[in-house]
Chains A and B, each alone.
Chain A
Amino acid sequence: MASTPRAQAMTGAEAVRRALQGGSTDWRSVVFQTLLVLLLVLTLGILAWLLAVVFVNGIPVLAERGTDFLTSPLASRPQLAGVGQAIVGSLYLMVFVALISFPLGIGAAVYLEEYARDSWFTRLINTIVRNLAGVPSIVYGLLGLAVFVVALADFTGGRSLMSGGLTMAILVLPIVIITSAEALRAVPGSIREAAFGVGATRWEVVRSHVLPYAAPGILTGTILSMARAFGETAPLILVGAVVGGFNVQYDSVVGTLQGRYTALPTAVYDWARKPPTYSGNVYAAIVVLIVVLLLVNALAIYLRNRFERRW
């Protein structure tokens, strides 16, 4: 019948034991697995080495200068130069970027996901948004230079915090739209149907159900887009983040927005081009930058785990 001659030759439990235990080692899978582990170690090793160099060189400077480094303005002497202005500038920049890009981006996502009919036009827009998210940041810098610094100079004050913020806002806008749209899409259609089914209008469905349920996802995505903007250097250099010393008067809102500014990654870039005496400052500034970025990402992960809803 179904039993082979070999199976017939052996009997009962002995046969089963031999069949189950008799396999030889599969060398190909062992080699492949070892290779994968090595690749992983190599990748992580490079990253760890990079971080180690930065921290080994940066921590002593931070330890020596203490809060002085975190509060001092940019200066022509490395012993006096600090990231105070850069931190404040980055902070202002982030607030400005958030104020501009969140309403625009979330609004666009809500329109695309909840209101727009599925037509060739909406599909085109979705494709464009996706492609914009992949455009190199220097291109946004050029756009910012042409539009905000030059064309709208009367409004923005030229190379100002506002120009930088607007440029950064446009840079992260596609990311905000995409992550928000994904969060909205994760709300199941059955919830929308349930709300429509009791006679809610589209606005009521979006306001009372879809947006609140998508909020954690949207929040996580927007925070990560902020982190992206926080680490960008190239566009800011084009739209006039200051790479030298400057005096700043944060006296009025308009004055601040139209005034000069700098940002953390710009400071790093600037110092890195200077004589080796600045190298301690560079490492220390990178440490500050990395710590801030890690904190922001940790916050995003915490919020996601805390509020994420599984359907």
Chain B
Amino acid sequence: MSVRSRQASPADDERDVHEGPTIRLMATTQTLDESEQIQPASAGAQGDLAFASDDVVFELQSLSCFYGSFRAVRDISLQVPRNKITAIIGPSGCGKSTLLRSFNRMNDLVDSARIEGQILYHGVDLYADGVDPVEVRRRIGMVFQKPNPFPKSIYDNVAFGPRVAGYRGDMDELVERSLKRAAIWDEVHDKLRQPGTALSGGQQQRLCIARAIAVEPDVILMDEPCSALDPIATLKIEELMRELKENYTIVIVTHNMQQAARASDYTAFLTMGEDRAGYLVEMAPTQELFTRPANRITEDYITGRFG
């Protein structure tokens, strides 16, 4: 299904031709010299994993993100496949979160933020005129680094999204279903009226996941969802992610490489250029990226030689 190719993949349906078992076209015996020749400016060509067009949820076309005049992310082109977990890894400050937040226009809330290039969501340019960011965020949910439940009851935490979306069905049932899907129902079913902020960190984060899926989004973005959690809570969230990908497309930013290796299907590795702008080094099926990285920088990073 996925194909790695040195050329930027054409944006049209020709991609279907590439369907088939994973083929590695990139030489694994790449020398150091070759990898050093790769300049940040040409890094856009590195995210050349191609999927069948029906399976592509996001397609980034030389996306750059700016805060004022500072370029935080440079020329990223990649595709995010449907019903898979795609991890974004890289050293601190390389723009992982910025990239993720551009997927649901969360960066619109930062006055100085803007993008160049395009993010296509099911083929639609998310930043085109007339696209309603509120509707974008309803379809593309988000779970944040620090659990951030509203200081309201557990029930109201989950019900807020559906309420503002004008949900007319059985709210009790929806809240229960969302909490069950987030694997926290058993722990909270008898205290739905208690404040969500009274839960433990791991429970809070699962509550936030329940809140995100209550509006039945298509995609869930997770911005280092386990960085504030202990290992047991982290494993629970990872288990949950694997269950959720049956119904959702998940993109997760993590600084924890083990987590990316354990939990994700695809991994995109970002790093910083001289100008501190993050760029994509490579994106590949997770197992491949961690066992046979195509790029020397990736290898150095995942083996712990830097970052």
Chain B count of residues within 8 A CB distance of the other chain: 27
CB nearest neighbor in A for B101: A193
Instruction: Kindly identify which residue among B134, B142, B212, B214 contacts A200, using a CB–CB cutoff of 8 Å.
Output: B134
6 more A-B residue pairs beyond the given contacts A191-B151, A196-B106, A199-B164, with a C-beta to C-beta distance below 8 A: A188-B148, A192-B109, A193-B106, A193-B144, A199-B215, A213-B151
Q: Which residue of A lies closest to B108 (CB)?
A: A196
The answer to whether B151 and A198 have CB atoms under 8 Å apart is no
| Interface pairs A-B: 7 shortest CB-CB | A199-B138, A198-B161, A190-B148, A197-B142, A194-B148, A118-B111, A200-B164
B144→A201 contact, CB < 8 A: no
- Which residues B129-184 have CB closer than 8 A to chain A? 134-135, 137-139, 141-142, 144, 146, 148-151, 160-161, 164-165
**A208 in the interface, Cβ–Cβ < 8 Å?**
yes
Q: Which of B199-226 contact A (CB under 8 A)?
A: 208, 211-212, 214-215
User: B104 on the interface (CB 8 Å rule)?
Assistant: yes
Decide: B212 and A197 in contact? CB cutoff 8 A: yes
Q: Is the CB of A204 within 8 A of B144?
A: no
B160 close to A193 (CB less than 8 A): no
- A212-235 CB mask vs B (1 if < 8 Å, else 0) is 010000000000000000000000
Query: Which one of A198, A208, A309 contacts B214 once the chains associate, using CB atoms below 8 Å?
Result: A198
Q: A118-B111, A192-B109, A194-B208 are in contact. Are A200 and B148 (CB under 8 A)?
A: no
Interface residue A117 (Cβ < 8 Å from any Cβ of B): yes
Sample (22) of A-B pairs whose CB atoms are under 8 Å apart: A117-B111, A118-B112, A119-B111, A193-B142, A193-B148, A194-B144, A194-B208, A197-B106, A197-B144, A198-B141, A198-B161, A198-B164, A198-B211, A198-B214, A199-B137, A199-B161, A199-B164, A199-B165, A199-B215, A201-B134, A209-B150, A309-B151
Q: Does A272 contact B (CB under 8 A)?
A: no
**Chain A residues within 8 Å of B208, by CB:** 194
Chain B residues lying within 8 Å of A201, measured Cβ to Cβ, are 134, 164
What is the distance, in angstroms, from A297's C-beta to the closest C-beta of chain B? 27
Known: A190-B148, A213-B151, A309-B151. A198 touches B160 (CB 8 A): yes
- Residues of B contacting A204 in the complex (Cβ-Cβ under 8 angstroms): 164
A104 within 8 A of B: no
Q: Judge whether A195 is part of the interface by a CB distance below 8 angstroms.
A: yes
CA distance A200 to B161 in the complex (A): 7
Contact residues of A: prevailing secondary structure:
helix
C-alpha gap A204/B134 in the complex (Å): 11
A196 and B135 CA atoms in complex are apart in Å by 10
Residues of B247-299 contacting chain A, CB below 8 A = none
Tell me the minimal C-beta distance from A191 to chain B in angstroms: 6
CA–CA, A309 and B138, complex, Å: 28
Chain A residues with Cβ under 8 A from B112's Cβ? 118
Asked whether, in the complex, the Cβ of B150 is within 8 Å of the Cβ of A191, the reply is yes
* Chain B residues, CB < 8 A from A309: 151
Q: Which residues does chain A contribute within 8 Å of B139, judged by CB atoms?
A: 199
Distance in angstroms from A213 CB to nearest chain B CB is 6
Q: Given A193-B109, A208-B160, are A198 and B148 also a contact pair (CB < 8 Å)?
A: no
CA distance A166 to B285 in the complex (A): 69
Q: A195 CA to B159 CA in the complex, in Å?
A: 11
Contact of A197 among B111, B135, B141, B149 (CB under 8 A): B141
Q: How far is the CA of A196 from the CA of B160 in the complex (A)?
A: 11
Q: Which chain A residues border B109 with CB–CB below 8 Å?
A: 192-193, 196
Q: Are A195's CB and B160's CB within 8 A?
A: yes
Cα-based distance from A290 to B111 in the complex (angstroms): 46
Q: Give the distance in Å from the alpha carbon of A119 to the alpha carbon of B141 in the complex.
A: 29
Q: Are A190 and B144 in contact (CB under 8 A)?
A: yes
Task: Enumerate A175-199 residues with CB–CB distance to B below 8 Å.
Answer: 188, 190-199
- Complex Cα distance, B135 from A198, in Å, reads 9
Q: CB-nearest residue of chain B relative to A205?
A: B164
Contact between A190 and B211 (Cβ–Cβ < 8 Å)? Answer: no
Rounded to whole angstroms, the CA-CA distance of A78 and B145 in the bound complex is: 69
Which of chain B's residues have a CB closer than 8 A to the CB of A194?
A: 144, 148-150, 208, 211
Task: Bits for A228-247, please: 1 = Cβ < 8 Å to B, else 0.
Answer: 00000000000000000000
- B111: chain A residues at CB < 8 Å are 117-119
- Which chain B residues border A195 with CB–CB below 8 Å? 150, 160
B112 to chain A, nearest CB (A): 8
Nearest-Cβ distance from residue B35 to partner chain A, whole angstroms: 37
**Contact string against B for A residues 79-103, beta-carbon threshold 8 Å, 1 for contact and 0 otherwise:** 0000000000000000000000000
Within 8 Å CB of A117, what residues of B? Answer: 111
The B58-109 residues at the A interface (CB cut-off 8 A) are 104, 106, 109
Q: How far is the CA of A196 from the CA of B144 in the complex (A)?
A: 12
Chain B min CB distance to A192 (Å) = 7
Q: Chain B residues near A191 (CB, 8 Å)?
A: 148, 150-151
- Are B160 and A200 in contact, with the CB atoms below 8 A? yes
Asked whether B137 lies within 8 Å of A198 as measured between CB atoms, the reply is: yes
Give chain B nearest CB distance to A114 CB in angstroms.
11
A118 to B112 alpha-carbon distance, docked (Å): 9
Q: Mark A21-54, 1 if CB is under 8 A from B, else 0.
A: 0000000000000000000000000000000000
Residue pair B150, A198 in contact (C-beta under 8 Å): no
Cα A195 to Cα B144 in complex, Å, equals 12
Q: Which residue of B lies closest to A189 (CB)?
A: B109
For chain A residues 90-132, which have a beta carbon within 8 Å of chain B?
117-119
Report the separation of the CA atoms of residues A117 and B109 in the bound assembly, to the nearest whole angstrom: 10
| Residues of A with C-beta under 8 A to B134 | 199-201
A208 nearest CB neighbor, chain B only: B160
**How far is the CB of A308 from the nearest CB of chain B, in Å?**
12
Assuming the A-B contacts A117-B111, A190-B146, A309-B151, are A197 and B164 also in contact, with contact meaning beta carbons closer than 8 angstroms in the complex? no
Which of A190, A199, A309 has the most chain B CB atoms inside 10 A of its CB?
Answer: A199
